[in-house]
Amino acid sequence: MSDTTRDSNAGDKKWWAKSIFVGGVLAIVCLPVGALGAKFGLWGFQGGFALLAVATLLATMAFFLGIIAYVVCVNKKLVAERKGILIGVGLSVVILVTMGMQFSSATSVPPIHNISTDTERPPEFDKIVAIRAAGESNPLAYDSAELADLQRAAYPWVKPLISADSPTTMLARAVDVMQGMGLEIVDTNPTAGRVEATATTFWFGFKDDVVVRIRPEGAGSVVDVRSISRVGGSDLGTNARRIGEILNGLGAN
């Protein structure tokens, strides 16, 4: 075989190495583009999830085809193609690990998105009710018969906080803690002993609403917290973790 023929065959093989590299790059780009596009209103949440599905599919193809392609490169002693293949496979691994962690989180907690320290008389929202109604959000009602047992089994530590401090002190502290967490305070009502706030996720811009209720208990107070997602069936444990962070912040002061 002549040198010209060999060069031509080498050139013919490069397209699949480039394809694996491009597939990995496109997959890694789809993640932030899909999430941030949904956050800034370029498309809906469904469009963002569709791009995540595309990213996962591209990553899966690039990973398995990349492994096969690399073995071919080794057997054929093709050197120039290896770097692009390895980059494509590496990027695919990042995508697959990220999505795998999300799937693991979703399957490790019950598919609920409405969490409250008080499952019998959950704290009620006031100002946020109209905001949620305007955005066609999940219903606000807490169905104790359906949710309480699931919540207690998954998050047994989500309980009311008993404090020796006065309701006035705890209300001010709750505002400070929630602001420190980056929540947007929507309303503070000292008379009702209530603080309402909204949390917005960085990537998709998902919004969860939070209410802290503080009532007198002897010389101190009892604090209840509720966090509920506006959209989606499962929150991947986010609302319970947020409640835990608020309670820890209040208890640590």
Which positions ≥6 away from 137 have C-beta within 8 Å? 230, 231
Read off the pLDDT band of 135 (50, 70, 90). Answer: confident
- Per-residue pLDDT of 217-252, as tens digits, reads 999 999 999 999 999 999 999 999 999 999 999 986
Which positions ≥6 away from 18 have C-beta within 8 Å? 84
Backbone φ, ψ for residue 47 (5° rounding): -65, -40
Using the predicted structure, report yes or no on whether residue 54 has a pLDDT greater than 90: yes
- Fill in the amino acid letter for 215: R
Read off the pLDDT band of 2 (50, 70, 90). Answer: very low
Under a CB-based contact definition with an 8 Å cutoff, are residues 173 and 231 in contact? no
> Could you give the CA distance from residue 18 to residue 76 in angstroms, rounded to a whole number?
17
How many Cα atoms within 13 Å fall on the side-chain side of residue 202? 4
| DSSP, res 124 | P
- Per-residue pLDDT of 56-112, as tens digits, reads 999 999 999 999 999 999 999 999 999 999 999 999 999 999 999 999 988 999 999
Read off the pLDDT band of 4 (50, 70, 90). Answer: very low
Using the predicted structure, report yes or no on whether residue 9 has a pLDDT greater than 50: no
Read off the pLDDT band of 6 (50, 70, 90). Answer: very low
Q: Is 146 exposed, middle or buried (0-12, 13-18, 19+ CB in 10 A)?
A: exposed
* Tokens representing residue 84 in the block: 């692009």
- Give the global pTM: 0.85
Tokens 């960085």 belong to 202
- Per-residue pLDDT of 192-222, as tens digits, reads 999 999 999 998 999 999 999 999 999 999 9
